[in-house]
C-alpha cells in the first residue's frame, strides 16, 4: 500500500466518521432533544425510534461494523494464513474506524434511551471505545516492524547506534551536538513513568525537540551549510534519534501497560458482544423485522 493511498484512506475514514455523525445529528436533533414521553407525537418517531426503519437499520449496521471490525483484525493478528495479507498497522486502523463509527450508529439506534441489560452492553461499549483510544496510544509507543512484529530492545539500541554513526560519519555532525542531544533525550528520564506521565512527557518532548531542531538548523546555517535539502535530511535523522531514544526508555513500561490494558479491555468487549447477541436474538424472537 503506497503512502499516498494510505493517507487518502485515513482521510476517508475520518471524513466518513465525521459526516455520518453530523448527518445523524442534523436529521434527528429535533426528535432526540424531545422528552421521551413526547417523542410518540413527533412525525419522525416512526422512523427514528429503535424499532423504526432508520433506527433499526442503524442498530444493524452499527453492530455489523463492530463485529466485522473485531473479527477481521483478530483473524489478521492471530491466524497464521492471514499474516501476510496487508500490514497489521493498516488492519488496526480499519478496526479502529469500524469500531468507532459502529458504536456511534448504535448510540443513535438507541435514540439515547437505554435501560435494563441493554444498558450494560451500551456502557460496556462506551468503555471499550474509550479504552481503545488508550490502547492505540500505548500500541504506537511500542516499536513494530511493518508486518506488526514487536522490535526488541536490542534491535532498537542497534538502530539508535546506527543513527548516531550516520550523523557522525555521513553528515559530519559535531560530537558536541550529539552530546547535547544525548543529555536532552537521556533514556533514564523515561523509565517507570505512569501512563499519564508518559502522555505528558510525549507532548512536552514534541515542543522541546522542535525547539532543539530549530536551534540546530540555525547552527548549521551559521557554519556555512546552505543546502536546505541537506539540512532537512539531518534534522529528519535527528528527529528519528529523539523518538527512538524515547521509545527505548519507555519500552518496558509500555509493554507492561499494554498487557494490563488487555486485561481491562477484553472483559468489557466480551460482555458487550454477549449481551448484543442476546439482544438481537430476543428482538428476532419477538418478531421485529427491518426492511426484509
63 versus 208: the higher-pLDDT residue is 63
How large is the angle between the packed helices 228-285 and 175-184, nearest 10 degrees? 30
146 versus 222: the higher-pLDDT residue is 222
Write down the pLDDT at residue 60.
92
Report the C-alpha gap between 120 and 286 in whole angstroms: 21
Which among 50, 165, 63, 46 has a CA at the least distance from the CA of 115? 50
Write down the pLDDT at residue 218.
78
**pLDDT surpasses 60 at 3:** no
State the cell numbers at 153. Answer: 530492545
Residue 167's DSSP bridge partners are none
Which helix (H) or strand (E) element contains residue 243? helix 228-285
Report the C-alpha gap between 31 and 111 in whole angstroms: 9
Report the C-alpha gap between 244 and 157 in whole angstroms: 8
**pLDDT surpasses 90 at 57:** yes
Q: What single DSSP character describes residue 174?
A: -
The three-class DSSP label of residue 150 is strand
Which helix (H) or strand (E) element contains residue 286? none
Report the C-alpha gap between 277 and 233 in whole angstroms: 53
Write down the pLDDT at residue 64.
93
Report the C-alpha gap between 13 and 224 in whole angstroms: 45
Q: Which of 40-54, 110-124, 141-155, 161-175 has the highest mean pLDDT?
A: 40-54
**pLDDT surpasses 50 at 215:** yes
Rg of the chain over Cα atoms, rounded to whole angstroms, equals: 25
Residue 144's DSSP bridge partners are 150
Q: How far is CA 155 from CA 181, 230, 248, 268, in A?
A: 21, 27, 10, 35
Which helix (H) or strand (E) element contains residue 188? none
Amino acid at each position: 500500500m503506497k503512502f499516498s493511498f494510505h493517507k487518502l484512506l485515513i482521510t476517508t475514514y475520518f471524513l466518513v466518521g465525521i459526516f455520518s455523525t453530523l448527518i445523524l445529528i442534523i436529521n434527528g436533533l429535533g426528535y432526540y432533544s424531545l422528552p421521551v414521553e413526547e417523542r410518540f407525537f413527533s412525525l419522525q418517531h416512526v422512523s427514528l425510534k429503535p424499532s423504526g426503519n432508520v433506527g433499526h437499520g442503524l442498530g444493524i449496521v452499527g453492530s455489523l461494523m463492530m463485529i466485522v471490525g473485531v473479527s477481521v483484525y483478530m483473524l489478521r493478528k492471530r491466524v497464521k494464513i492471514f499474516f501476510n495479507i496487508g500490514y497489521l498497522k493498516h488492519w488496526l486502523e480499519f478496526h479502529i474506524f469500524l469500531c468507532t463509527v459502529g458504536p456511534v450508529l448504535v448510540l443513535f439506534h438507541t435514540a439515547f434511551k437505554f435501560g435494563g441489560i441493554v444498558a450494560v452492553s451500551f456502557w460496556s461499549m462506551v468503555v471499550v471505545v474509550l479504552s481503545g483510544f488508550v490502547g492505540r496510544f500505548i500500541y504506537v509507543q511500542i516499536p513494530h516492524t511493518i508486518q506488526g512484529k514487536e522490535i526488541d530492545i536490542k534491535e532498537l539500541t542497534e538502530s539508535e547506534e546506527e543513527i548516531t554513526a550516520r550523523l557522525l560519519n555521513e553528515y559530519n555532525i559535531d560530537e558536541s551536538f550529539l552530546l547535547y542531544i544525548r543529555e536532552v533525550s537521556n533514556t533514564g528520564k523515561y523509565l517507570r513513568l505512569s501512563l499519564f506521565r508518559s502522555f505528558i512527557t510525549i507532548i512536552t518532548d514534541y515542543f522541546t525537540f522542535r525547539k532543539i531542531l530549530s536551534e540546530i538548523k540555525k547552527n548549521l546555517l551559521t557554519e556555512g551549510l546552505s543546502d536546505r535539502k541537506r539540512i532537512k535530511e539531518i534534522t529528519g535523522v535527528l528527529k528519528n534519534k529523539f523518538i527512538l531514544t524515547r521509545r527505548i526508555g519507555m519500552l518496558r513500561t509500555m509493554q507492561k501497560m499494554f498487557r494490563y490494558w488487555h486485561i481491562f479491555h477484553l472483559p468489557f468487549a466480551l460482555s458487550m458482544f454477549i449481551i448484543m447477541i442476546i439482544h438481537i436474538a430476543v428482538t428476532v424472537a419477538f418478531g421485529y423485522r427491518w426492511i426484509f
